[in-house]
Amino acid sequence: MKLPRRNFLHLAAGAAALPAASRIARAQTYPTRPVRIIVGFPAGFAADTVARLIAQSLSESLGQQFVVENRPGASSNIATDAVVRATPDGYSLLLVTQTNATNATVYENLGFNFIRDIAPVAGIGTNPFVMVVSPSVPAKTVPEFIDYAKANPGKVNMSSPGTGSAGHIFGELFKIMTGVHIVHVPYRASFIPDLLAGQVQVGFPTIGAVIEHIRTGKLRALAVTAATRVDVLPDIPTLGEFVSGYEASGWIGIGAPRSTSAQIIETLNKAINAALTDPKMRARLADLGFAPLANSPAEFGNYIVQYTEKWGKVVRAANIKGE
């Protein structure tokens, strides 16, 4: 049977549209099976806790299980590499943090480019850190600590979770801006016991990691690292009140493999942003020391680029090299 030309053109156009329609249908029905959120930190860390909060919310809102998979090691680079190499279909996501951004400068041969190879999906929250000292340190304020450190050059030890960690880099910025000579002591396990015991004298941990020790007086908080005071420690000043221009905060969000479809990224972004409006979610994040970071994928991407540039300068100035 010979089709009229008009009918033939109509059918041809419809056939050509099928692949595009199929791709759109797949994106609109995403997800159709469980989704992994790969976390580069051990279970129980603040990042892991936030990942599980978001996973539960996404499971409820999108109708499929979002499962947290912990792949700690190499300062979260093992987890990042796994997602970089994953199929870009939206079923392997990465919990991204400030560590991913600073790793770009700390490590010379990662085998991937975080900004190029991980597509930004959505921010979740920002978290200020806190400068704390052991009770054995006589300083009660930041100016007193600076004076104490300058009077004892090389005798004050600064603990961190490891070389190139946020706590290390934030402490290095403090050293650069104040001119104090304090010795960095990296830990592979928790440094909190040694800080409590006075074996190390100062640290720049997350608020969530030490807030109970601050409340019970086992550690003395001198300042928060954010630009403004924080609700969970309302009486603690900012470092910027004493060291003009100092500001340091961590952040957390979700990324996906490069080339993940814009429709899938938009689906996830809307669901995460909706979760951040839930009072219960906001309260849980606040308990962990996080403030919501709701944004578009493009805004989150710009945020990451600017953060990477800022802290890359600090890493280079302090000559920090990955172990």
pLDDT score of 27:
46
Statement: residue 63 has pLDDT above 70: yes
Crossing angle (nearest 10°) for helices 98-106 and 166-178:
70
pLDDT score of 46:
86
Domain membership of residue 44 (yes or no) is yes
Least confident of 1-5, 42-46, 310-314: 1-5
Which comes out higher in pLDDT, residue 264 or 73?
A: 264
Its domain, for residue 229, covers 130-241
* Boundary (domain end) residue, out of 218, 241, 264: 241
* Boundary (domain end) residue, out of 221, 241, 261: 241
Regarding whether 153 and 115 lie in a shared domain, the answer is no
Buried-exposed string 31-52: b where 16+ CB fall within 10 A, e elsewhere: beeebbbbbbbeeebbbbbbbb
Domain membership of residue 214 (yes or no) is yes
pLDDT band at 25 (very low <50, low <70, confident <90, very high): very low
Regarding whether 219 and 146 lie in a shared domain, the answer is yes
Domain membership of residue 58 (yes or no) is yes
Regarding whether 168 and 141 lie in a shared domain, the answer is yes
Q: What is the pLDDT of residues 161-210, one digit of tens each?
A: 889 999 999 999 999 999 999 999 999 878 999 999 999 999 999 998 89
Domain membership of residue 64 (yes or no) is yes
As a residue count, the chain comes to: 323
Regarding whether 158 and 103 lie in a shared domain, the answer is no
Beta strands in 13-65 (DSSP E): 35-39
CATH number at residue 285: 3.40.190.150
pLDDT score of 282:
95
CA distances from 316 to 30, 100, 168 (A): 42, 16, 13
Regarding whether 136 and 123 lie in a shared domain, the answer is no
Regarding whether 189 and 140 lie in a shared domain, the answer is yes
CA distances from 94 to 7, 20, 244 (A): 48, 27, 35
Q: Give 4's DSSP letter.
A: P
Q: Give 45's DSSP letter.
A: S
Mean pLDDT of 20-42: 75
What are 253's two structure tokens? 């969000």
CA distance 128 to 151: 28
CA distance 172 to 245: 14
CATH number at residue 157: 3.40.190.10
Regarding whether 221 and 254 lie in a shared domain, the answer is no
Mean pLDDT of 76-102: 97
Domain membership of residue 18 (yes or no) is no
Regarding whether 254 and 110 lie in a shared domain, the answer is yes
Domain membership of residue 254 (yes or no) is yes
Q: What angle do CA 101, 237, 195 make, to 5 degrees?
A: 70
* Boundary (domain end) residue, out of 214, 241, 268: 241
Domain membership of residue 24 (yes or no) is no
Statement: residue 15 has pLDDT above 50: no
CA distances from 12 to 1, 3, 7, 16, 21 (A): 16, 12, 9, 6, 14
Mean pLDDT of 218-241: 95
* Counted domains in the chain: 2
Regarding whether 236 and 136 lie in a shared domain, the answer is yes
* Mean pLDDT score across all residues of the chain: 91
Regarding whether 173 and 144 lie in a shared domain, the answer is yes
pLDDT score of 109:
87
Q: How distant is the alpha carbon of residue 54 from its chain centre?
A: 14
What are 269's two structure tokens? 């972004």
Regarding whether 259 and 237 lie in a shared domain, the answer is no
What are 30's two structure tokens? 């995403």
Beta strands in 210-272 (DSSP E): 220-224, 249-257
pLDDT band at 9 (very low <50, low <70, confident <90, very high): very low
Q: What is the DSSP string of 79-144?
A: HHHHHHTS-SSSSEEEEEEHHHHHHHHH-S--SS-HHHHEEEEEEEEEEEBEEEE-TTS---SHHH
Regarding whether 120 and 50 lie in a shared domain, the answer is yes
Q: What is the pLDDT of residues 269-300, one digit of tens each?
A: 999 999 999 999 999 998 888 999 999 999 99
Q: How many CB atoms within 10 Å of residue 262?
A: 11
Domain membership of residue 21 (yes or no) is no
